[in-house]
A and B are shown apart, each in its own frame.
Chain A
């Protein structure tokens, strides 16, 4: 029984991510989510206080799932530049395959309130931290802390633009640029441009 209850909760969380990605956060109702998940209203309110509560839980679960996929693909990937490339590629593939998830993750989260935006930034920083972590063995100078903001802001901005324009499936074409944005703070413009060119040729 426990597993059935868990799976209903999970169905609601996944339904929330899809419906919000499709209709937008404001336009999404609890009724929409119940229909999408194929559960009852009672089940919904047993698990969540309201739409917002369910959205926050759904967002967290989605981040965990995306992150687990990235870790599974990237752990052990060396050298550091390959790890960054693989990490970005994995994220972009998930977004391109599930445009609704991508819209919820990047665009609609901005509408769902300050606590939701906090979850978004926590996730972005976790992703950034994960990619950066592999840099330990690489030679490199200590850089000002703000410099990594360039990477995060640039990558988020480019992805946001594509999703708002409804071009989730074209995200993979941005891969060389995203790689440049992620590497340039650490490698400098010339070396980052070289890596970008290599990524473009490999694609």
Chain B
């Protein structure tokens, strides 16, 4: 049990320190200090800084993906209302931890190609939110199979723009814009704008 909690502390530390200092400037000493563990313990768990960061990224992405999925699944109503709930959770979670949001969606690439692939994999975890749209939309079956990926591209594009502009803490405000962008491929622009205006 102690070993597990040390690992958890280290992964949390990796996200916090990299979010604050940037990946390149973060040292293993920074990580062990922040986590309150020894260097030996670090190397028992990970071969190097990159492996530790990637594991931390996976865990953070996993936590976020689960929260979004639960909000989506627990919400009442038809598909658009449930998408709203999922995206609301996403924006709220990111706004609550702006440094993590920045790392997850803007600065992720600094750790190299492996981190870029992790980012991509994390985004794919949001596809279930949108896949249902093909059943819900009047002509959903005619849409390209990649429509979910397109919607996710739009979501992260909008979020990254806000983070770059220094507005990470007020991400919740862009919910209507995110809804218009993501629902329009399924419902058409007018119906998407109408859905975005609800609530």
Contacts and interface: CB of A to CB of B under 8 A. Distances in A.
Interface string B174-196: 00110011101111111011000
A64 B140 CA distance: 38
Interface in A35-51: none
Contact of A150 (B139, B140, B154): B154
A150 B120 contact: no
Given A26-B110, A155-B153, A188-B188, A164 B116 contact: yes
A153 B157 contact: yes
B109 interface: yes
B126 to A, nearest CB: 11
A146 B113 contact: no
Contacts of A150: 150-151, 154, 180-182, 184-185
Interface stretch (A65-73, A88-96, A174-182): A174-182
Contacts of B109: 107-108, 110-111
A147 B142 contact: no
Interface in A174-203: 174, 176-177, 180-181, 184-186, 188-190, 192-193, 196
Contacts of A192: 185
Given A111-B110, A153-B158, A165 B150 contact: no
B146 interface: yes
A193 B142 CA distance: 6
A156 B139 CA distance: 25
Contacts of B106: 110, 117
Of B106, B140, B182, B189, the most chain A CB neighbours within 10 A belong to B189
A157 interface: yes
A119 to B, nearest CB: 12
Contact of A164 (B117, B139, B158): B117
Contacts of A189: 137, 139-140, 142-143, 185-188
B36 interface: no
B157 A149 contact: yes
Interface in B130-179: 137, 139-140, 142-144, 146-147, 149-158, 161, 164, 176-177
A114 B161 CA distance: 11
Contacts of A111: 109-110
A184 B151 CA distance: 11
A72 B136 CA distance: 42
A141 B182 CA distance: 19
B3 interface: no
A146 B177 contact: yes
Contacts of B158: 146, 149, 153
Given A149-B158, A180-B144, A26 B150 contact: no
B102 to A, nearest CB: 11
Contact of B120 (A121, A149, A164): A164
A149 B142 contact: no
A156 B185 contact: no
A181 B150 contact: yes
A157 B157 contact: yes
A177 B144 contact: yes
Nearest to B144: A177
Given A26-B24, A153-B181, A176-B144, A107 B149 contact: no
Interface in A127-183: 141, 143-144, 146-147, 149-150, 152-158, 160-161, 164-165, 174, 176-177, 180-181
Interface of B: 24, 106, 108-110, 112-113, 116-117, 119-120, 123, 137, 139-140, 142-144, 146-147, 149-158, 161, 164, 176-177, 180-182, 184-190, 192-193
